[in-house]
Structure 1
Amino acid sequence: MKPDRAGSRVPTGYFVHKEWPYEPRFKRVNGWRMHYIDEGGGDPVVLLHGNPAWGFLYRKFVKPLTAAGRRVIVPDMIGFGLSEKPVREQAHSLDGHIANLTSLLRQLDVRNATMVCHDWGGPTGLGFALSNSDRVRALVIMSTWAWPLPPAEFHKRIFPWRMMHAPLAGPYLLGKHNALAGRGMYLSVVDRKKFQDEAQSAYESVLPDPGSRLLTWTWPRWIPLDETARGFRRFEWLERELKRSKFPTMLVWGREDEVFDHKTFATRFKELLPHAEGPELVTGRHFLQEDSGAEIAKKINDFLDRIHERQP
């Protein structure tokens, strides 16, 4: 990667992998260059990743969903994957990421969409859905959250979480040594040998230098730990609006997830969305797509088929 005139990192080439044979596409969103893939036809399914992943996380979803007659859109959030990577922390806020996603999906005139939300793709995708309800048909929610407090117990620990994102330790561990895309993701799957052999390099290679890794240690600072947190009001809004939501919803969770454990977080979503199906439990720690991608894709297809059957 090379810096552009604004100081951001712009991918100079395309990612090549046998499991990612998709045409790269780009749109300008709020001044940044966003990468996405857009495959198939029919009602759109938008697959949203979190930190420190990118669209590759959903590689096992694309063919089953397109084969079922659905259009699949997989964006890379600004700062990740093949999208542009601002090197100023001010470029990254939850509201900013919601605005970037909104710009992309409006440019693509996405309507009747199913939003598949995981990790930071949860607050981001739900933020889009709740403010663009005329464009959204259904929600699939996986290993995420959408309320201010309490955060996961995991995020309150001094070690390793809060230390990793401290002013000096964050740039050193996650910036210089790419610890989150490397060791962090490795520890967050069940079949670690398979992940190491088939996927780990795909996450590390798109974050090749410290300047490209800023978001891996700055985005988590938006997780509210108390009422003074800068993201607190946005999460209050998400919780309030989600309670009013009538979107058909399915919850899918990894049985082994320790970051957002299903007993706490899936249960909380069920309280907010009592009409939601699930939680459907699958093999998986936090990055459950790595262990159960094809199974989750089938659950999404079946869920959307059921919605279609219920329509008059």
Structure 2
Amino acid sequence: MDVLRTPDDRFAGLADFPYPPNYTDIVDADGTPLRIHAVDAGPTRAQPVLLMHGEPSWSYLYRHIIPALLANGYRVIAPDLVGFGRSDKPAAQADYSYERHVTWMSDWLTAQHISGITLFCQDWGGLIGLRLVAAFADRFKRVIVANTGLPTGTGSTPGFDQWLAFSQGVPIFPVGGILDTGTKRALSTAEKAAYDAPFPDESYKAGARRFPTLVPITPQHASVEENMAAWKVLETFNKPFLTAFSDGDPVTKGGEKIFRERVPGARGQPHVTLQGGHFLQEDCPSEIAELIDRFIRNNP
């Protein structure tokens, strides 16, 4: 497996993102070493909050949420998925699969030696993050899901179908433009450039290109059985589980319902609808930080 690594100078001087590089080395099943980056800030003994991003963003998505959580005394960990951000990027689309992503992040998580985790996950951060919850339920104390899902081949939304067609057909994959389109507010030129920073050219975008095709929306997709197995675990998950979807996301609209119905820990929780687009972290970061803090304090 050939692996690309984004030069460090691509990340120099990003506004509101002062965090030093922090890497964990793992080894793929084929023997290829991979380096996974994560923001890891705050006291090491403090309650850990795990923030997981999706497609095609990276931990920069949480830049306005991390400081508020740090101010409230939490340890904040925001990894970059393989293929994104400062993490290594396998060069071929065929190098990426749903199960490989889950394995990569499972290996990363077990190397962190953390427990009592509060997870906030959005987009593919949920598709992967909820698999981690199912596999390592004893490590997680609370879960918040936002604009995400754990699909099992039962179909998609018109919004996702449009996204899939666009992602596979556009000749230049406009990462910063995609983030801008997926928010209610307009991103600045500098913000869009920061989302483009991990990808010096199209050769670095194999993972971003591949992700939409990996969502198991039909019975024929890979990972349907694995997600079904994960749902069996989630259907016994009694720890606090909150939905915080936005009001303006055509891709995941209505996706909160299945979690509220099937996850025991979701019963009786003060579920919320936030104002924002698909990338709600850009539209309502203060509300998200306050929500996470309140959820932890109300569920000690």
Same fold by TM (over 0.5)? yes
Choose the corresponding residue for 2:151, options 116, 133, 147: 147
Distance 1:304 1:54 in 2: 24
From the superposition, tell whether residues 85 and 247 of structure 1 become closer, same or farther in structure 2 (CA, over 3 Å). Answer: same
Q: Which residue of 1 aligns with 2:299?
A: 307
Deviation of the 1:22 alpha carbon: 0.7
Write the letter of the residue equivalent to 1:13: D
In 2, Cα distance between equivalents of 1:156 and 1:290: 20
1:289 aligns with 2:281: yes
Structure 1 equivalent of residue 79 of structure 2: 75
Please provide the CA RMSD for this pair.
1.7
Deviation, 1:197, is 3.9
Structure 2 length normalisation: TM-score?
0.91
Cα distance, 1:45 vs. partner? 0.6
CA distance in 2, matches of 1:216, 1:245: 31
Structure 1: 5+ residue stretches without partners: 1-5
Q: Does 1:206 align with 2:198?
A: yes
Mapped pair 1:29 → 2:32: no
- In structure 1, which of residues 5, 10, 19 is the aligned counterpart of residue 5 of structure 2? 10
2:188 is paired with a residue of what secondary structure? helix
- How many Å separate the matches in 1 of 2:241 and 2:149? 14
Partner SS, residue 67 of structure 2: helix
Q: State whether residues 164 and 217 of structure 1, in contact with CA within 8 Å, keep that contact through their aligned partners in structure 2.
A: no
For 2:165 and 2:151, how far apart are their aligned partners in 1? 23
List per-residue Cα deviations over 1:280-312 (Å, max 9, x = no partner). Answer: 11111100000001110111001000111xxxx
- Find the counterpart in structure 2 of residue 268 from structure 1: 258
- Looking at structure 1, the residues matched to 39 and 163 of structure 2 have their Cα atoms a distance apart, in angstroms, of 32
The code of the aligned residue for 1:116 comes to F
Shift of residue 274 of structure 1? 4.8
Shift of 1:198: 4.8
1:44-80 Cα deviation digits (max 9, x unpaired): 1110000100000011111111111110011000100
Which residue does the alignment assign to 1:184? 178
Gaps of 5+ in 2: 28-32
How big is each residue's C-alpha offset from its partner over 1:116-143, in whole Å with a ceiling of 9 and x where there is no partner? 1110010211111111122111101110
1:189·1:291 contact (CA, 8 Å) conserved in 2? yes
Code of the aligned partner of 1:227: P
Q: Deviations over 1:222-268 (max 9, x none)?
A: 1123211112212222222211111211111111111101xx21112
Distance in 2, Cα, partners of 1:281 & 1:55 = 23
CA distance in 2, matches of 1:225, 1:125: 18
Moved more, 82-91 or 144-153: 144-153
Take 1:298 and 1:146, find their aligned partners in 2: how far apart are those partners? 25
**What pairs up with 1:25-104 in 2 under 5 angstroms?**
25-30=22-27, 31-41=33-43, 42-104=46-108
- Paired residues in the alignment total 289
Which residue number corresponds to residue 3 of structure 1?
A: none
Match of 1:33, SS state, is: strand
Task: Report whether the alignment pairs 1:19 with 2:16.
Answer: yes
Q: Which amino acid aligns with 2:22?
A: R
Post-superposition CA distance 1:121-179 (Å, at most 9, x none) = 1021111111112211110111001131434313663xx3343354xx3xxx2xx5123
CA distance in 1, matches of 2:108, 2:163: 31
Q: Which residue of 1 aligns with 2:207?
A: 215
Counterpart-to-counterpart distance in 2, 1:197 and 1:12:
21
Q: Secondary structure at the match of 2:66?
A: helix
> Measured at CA, do residues 146 and 291 of structure 1 come closer, stay the same or move farther in structure 2, by a change above 3 Å?
same
Find the residue that maps to 1:17 and give its secondary structure.
coil
Aligned residue type for 1:38: D
**Cα gap change, 1:275 to 1:247, in 2 (>3 Å):** closer
